[in-house]
Amino acid sequence: MKKIIILFIFVMSGSAMLFSSCAPTKEIADKSGAQLWGENCNRCHNAPSMDQYSKEQWPIIGSHMKLKAGLTDDEVNKIVSFLKGS
């Protein structure tokens, strides 16, 4: 019986750790465009710098790469406004 209780506590603390590590939503929401750009836009190719494309081109590239990178609207908007320099 003791063993079962110990096992139960072990499993519960393990799953508590698992759940807490799956809740970074607030941190993601707090990330800046520069941070998101650095973390996402160099996964498949070198991250393009802001002077490589114009203010008119970035939103188009953003919507294109949003699909490729699996980013949310919010994340892409932040990255695009960072790259537009505003």
> What is the C-alpha to C-alpha distance for residues 58 and 18, in angstroms, rounded to an integer?
38
Provide the token pair at 73.
Answer: 């609207």
Shortest CA distance to 83 belongs to which of 63, 57, 58?
58
Q: Specify the residue, 6 or 34, whose C-beta has the smaller distance to ligand HEC.
A: 34
Q: Specify the residue, 9 or 44, whose C-beta has the smaller distance to ligand HEC.
A: 44
Chain residues binding ligand HEC by CB under 6 A are 40-41, 43-45, 48, 53, 61, 64-65, 68-69, 79
Instruction: Provide the minimum distance between the beta carbon of 28 and ligand HEC in the complex, in angstroms, as a whole number.
Output: 14
Instruction: Provide the minimum distance between the beta carbon of 5 and ligand HEC in the complex, in angstroms, as a whole number.
Output: 47
Owner of token pair 């079962």: 4
